[in-house]
Structure 1
Amino acid sequence: MSDSSAAPEPTAPRLRVAPSPTGDPHVGTAYMAVFNLAFARKHGGQFVLRIEDTDRARFNATSEQQLYDTLGWLGLTWDEGPDVGGPCAPYRQSERLDTYRPYVEALIESGHAYYCWCSSERLAQMREKQQKLKLPTGYDRLCHGKTKEERAQLEGFNEDPVVRMYVPDDAPTHFEDVIRGTVSAPRPDDQVILKADGFPTYHLAVVVDDHEMGITHVVRGEEWISSTPKHVLLYEWLGFEPPKFAHMPLLRNENKSKISKRKNPWARLTWFEEAGYLPEAVVNFLGLLAYPPAKGEGGADVEKFSFEAFSEDFDWAKVNKVGPIFDLKKLDWLNGQYIRDLELDDLAARLLPFLQQDGVLGEEPGREDLAKLEAIGEQIRPRMQLLTEATDLVKPFFVADADLEIADDARAALKDNAPEVIDAALTALADVTWEAAEIEAALRGAIVDGMGIKPRLAFGPLRTAVSGRKVSPPLFESMEILGRESTLARLRSLRSSLG
């Protein structure tokens, strides 16, 4: 067993996030990481990533890399972890099994833990009986104080034992929380701390690892409040200085249910990048979920902020104790704000992977295509909330004129005067200087003034001819970007199809 003096002596806070690789990373991991990292950065501390992979039945081999990829995409970088190393390595619990066993032996020797040989069938029957009699559920201590031989004489014996805590009747059920103050939790039962396969349960491993890694603040979801008295007991029995606890409010759906990967696609952390969100917008949104926005001029809320600003302001006392509603409409709005503030070359670079994925652009677009994409980006960003919305808006600019498809709803919306409108446009554009302002002036003169058509109805046929759609980026700027030859070719093509 490691000497407690082997734990790092922190001169600044040390915080961690410790996800389990059991499938697609949960958005809650990023939510916790935002608050852990903000506090660590504000106080010049360290942020540790630990992989808690002791649940071998649910272990997913690809999940760990997804954690690195998604947290890295969000910019929530860690100072120590399995991939970067550090003074407290190893950072995977499956590689630390030799670390836990001596602590288990010490707890058994001191009488704070004992072997339990009960079969799963016997435990299921015990719980069923307790529930029928409306008794408190929990282990009935059949194995406590017995040798293996003595226990083998009784029903429901299993050859491979687990190890359980021996929780005293007067076990403390209150603890201090930096967010919630004094918290009351249920009295713990005799929790399993070492499984039959030799792997520790969360309760033992988290206490040992947090101690040996010098973690000063344990920040986790409020669902762990009921487990904290068990951990406080283990800290006491093992002679460890406990960390400060901070239990964050749970993320909830609009119906106030807990979000889950099974029911909510946005509970998967990988979903946000796939759906076209910007990482800085997601981090900003996660911060807003349980923390008040800063105040601007006149006391107005400042809801768009950088992670650096969030860290500088961070104070546990400001964290909301009530479970926040995961409002995707708010995230969409916020993402749109970030998109509009991007430099054009940055916006083009972020759009490129989605456009390539959808076949709009090739793997190695040329300089001319990238310049065109920037020009288009300037026109479409006021209309976008997600990067994935770009494909429909951008595609018409990169399709050959002969291959442009006219959407059925756009063709159906054309009025009887569409041929005359296109004829007037072709005449007006014949000799115009090819700039958006000149194009607009010529078309307004010919169609609005010359034909007496109201401005909001005047340009529908032209929009359909140029983009193939009812809704498109600004028409005159689109014509400028497409160029004279393509614009006129598209106008003639639609005109010919109208007879």
Structure 2
Amino acid sequence: MTVRTRFAPSPTGYLHVGGARTALFSYLYARKHGGQFVLRIEDTDLERSTAESVNAILEGMTWLGLDYDEGPFYQTQRFDRYNAVIEELLDKGLAYRCDCPKERLEKLRVDQMARKVKPRYDGCCRHRQVDPNQPHVIRFKNPADGVVVVDDLIRGRVPFSNDELDDLIIRRSDGAPTYNLSVVVDDADMQITHVIRGDDHLTNTPRQINILHALGFEPPRYAHVPMILGDDGARLSKRHGAVGVMAYRDMGYLPEALLNYLIRLGWSHGDQELFSIEQMIELFDIADVNKAASSFNTAKLDWLNQQYLQHAEPSRIARLLSPHMGKLNIDPSEGPELADVVTAQAARAKTLVELAEISAFCYQDFDSFDENSAKKHLRLVAREPLTRLRASFEMMAHEDWTPEGLKHVVERVGEELELNLGKVAQPLRVAIVGRAASPGIEETLMLVGKEATLRRIDKALAYIDARAAAS
């Protein structure tokens, strides 16, 4: 048997991180077993489905690198097939027309709830002749007795009694097929062998199995993945922050870091934290996914992203960092090589956005000094070392502006004034960067360049003089 999995999102919004995790699990299962991964767009909700949402899903899949082997297939392009199956069920007496008015159905629901009975359709039209030319829906004739067993790959054996399942609608009064019918036909036609999806679909599964049996199809194996919770224990939603995949891209996360984080939400392999996609394929097993829900932890995602930023090829990170620099009105071609900035700064940032912000000083002058840093380091005693440093830097030839040459100048000024390195380097760092944190001082000076260094020392000296005059 060739394993065939699918990811089947509804295009009613962005690609949710919960959906991305489901897609990842389906992708890994197919790749591990030499199978195919299919993308299907379940766009039968004509009122809520949009082309913009479809594009957001496709963009998210591409950014994550979850390449599908077939698709995308669109359900709205398969209505003829669904209607043919519905007619087949009607002909075999396995479905029937229902014209029960909304008022009757609502009264039925209210009465059942008052009697503390699970609300379900009572089969009123099962044995009635309904005029096909009048408005009506089509219902599947669910078996009246017996048990449907979902042999779930994560949860194990989950039984459902047929007498608790109602005759669900498979075609609406407007002629549109419903989710439970179309998904069954698609899974059968596309020869899906394993359905990995969120556990919110678990109650749909027995109904879908019954329809598959009625059509003479062998049901796929099912695995229902527990939901993702926010830090407050509620289902992850917009109020917890970003939940769309592309929002994480815009916030400066790397796709491999997000994938790594998502696979660890409910699955583990010993104490290992970092996984390449090849390791994920080799080690992942759907049967090892936890039955309990997992909580999203942004701090853990930040840590993972920082690991990838530090260890990725600087030239690649530079390409990803460039648009974030552009958002700060910085043209990275007008300054040091962005890959050199990445090499110097990557260990200091959790995201690309943060990396851009702390690296802006390499390309543009800052408006003001960090107040605490300036108060501590830009004092009157720093005036003489900064003045000597400026004079020495101004005399340096372009070819001497190297980390070694710059380090020599800073150390020499410290020796001349009998000051330890910190008393010289820290005021210089605040003068050049605007704050008391940066890479090594010689590396910082190298990235900023000679002209900006002289200009910023002048600004720091003016700040010191103004501070002295005010006191």
Q: Fold-level match, TM-score > 0.5?
A: yes
Specify the alignment match of 1:3 in structure 2: none
Give the drift of 1:346: 1.4
CA distance in 2, matches of 1:477, 1:463: 11
Residues 1:108 and 2:108 are matched in the alignment: no
Specify the alignment match of 2:410 in structure 1: 443
Amino acid at match of 1:385: K
Give the drift of 1:391: 2.3
Give the drift of 1:121: 4.0
Give the drift of 1:36: 1.0
Q: Which runs of 5+ in 2 are unaligned?
A: 466-471
* Of 466-475 and 54-63, the range deviating more from structure 2: 466-475
Other structure's SS at 1:163 match: strand
Amino acid at match of 2:187: D
Q: Give the one of 207, 215, 228 matched to 1:230.
A: 207
CA distance in 2, matches of 1:447, 1:125: 89
Amino acid at match of 1:422: L
Other structure's SS at 1:263 match: helix
Other structure's SS at 2:38 match: strand
Taking structure 1 as reference, are residues 497 and 231 closer, same or farther at Cα in structure 2, changes over 3 Å only?
A: same
Specify the alignment match of 1:493 in structure 2: 459
* Of 459-468 and 405-414, the range deviating more from structure 2: 405-414
Alignment of 1:79-118 (within 5 A): 79-82=69-72, 91-118=73-100
Give the drift of 1:415: 3.5
Cα distance per residue 1:120-141 (max 9 Å; x no partner): 3443333233223322211233
Cα distance per residue 1:351-372 (max 9 Å; x no partner): 112112331117xx37xx4x52
Other structure's SS at 1:322 match: coil
Other structure's SS at 2:294 match: coil
Q: Give the one of 248, 256, 280 matched to 2:256.
A: 280
Aligned-CA RMSD value: 2.5
Asked if structure 2 preserves the Cα contact closer than 8 Å seen for 1:406 and 1:465, the reply is no
* Of 270-279 and 164-173, the range deviating more from structure 2: 164-173
CA distance in 2, matches of 1:441, 1:119: 89
Residues 1:393 and 2:358 are matched in the alignment: yes
CA distance in 1, matches of 2:115, 2:375: 69
Specify the alignment match of 1:183 in structure 2: 158
Asked if structure 1 preserves the Cα contact closer than 8 Å seen for 2:228 and 2:235, the reply is yes
Give the drift of 1:218: 0.8
Cα distance per residue 1:156-195 (max 9 Å; x no partner): xx95211122223314242211222211346322211111
Alignment of 1:110-189 (within 5 A): 110-148=92-130, 159-185=134-160, 187-189=164-166
Taking structure 1 as reference, are residues 120 and 421 closer, same or farther at Cα in structure 2, changes over 3 Å only?
A: farther
Q: Which runs of 5+ in 1 are unaligned?
A: 1-10, 83-90, 152-157, 296-300
Asked if structure 2 preserves the Cα contact closer than 8 Å seen for 1:15 and 1:36, the reply is yes
Under a length normalisation based on structure 2, what TM-score does the superposition of the two structures give? 0.90
Asked if structure 1 preserves the Cα contact closer than 8 Å seen for 2:154 and 2:291, the reply is yes
Taking structure 1 as reference, are residues 235 and 453 closer, same or farther at Cα in structure 2, changes over 3 Å only?
A: same
Asked if structure 1 preserves the Cα contact closer than 8 Å seen for 2:410 and 2:424, the reply is no
Amino acid at match of 1:289: L
* Of 235-244 and 98-107, the range deviating more from structure 2: 98-107
Other structure's SS at 1:20 match: coil
Cα distance per residue 1:430-469 (max 9 Å; x no partner): 65653334433543453488354683x6544322221223
Q: Give the one of 63, 73, 84 matched to 2:63.
A: 73
Amino acid at match of 1:342: A
Asked if structure 2 preserves the Cα contact closer than 8 Å seen for 1:112 and 1:165, the reply is yes
Alignment of 1:65-464 (within 5 A): 65-82=55-72, 91-148=73-130, 159-185=134-160, 187-260=164-237, 262-293=238-269, 295=270, 301-361=271-331, 365=333, 369=335, 372-399=337-364, 403-407=365-369, 409=371, 410-413=373-376, 414-427=378-391, 429=393, 433-444=400-411, 446-447=413-414, 450=417, 452=419, 455=422, 458-464=424-430
> Identical aligned pairs, as a percentage?
35
CA distance in 2, matches of 1:126, 1:475: 77
Asked if structure 2 preserves the Cα contact closer than 8 Å seen for 1:194 and 1:201, the reply is yes
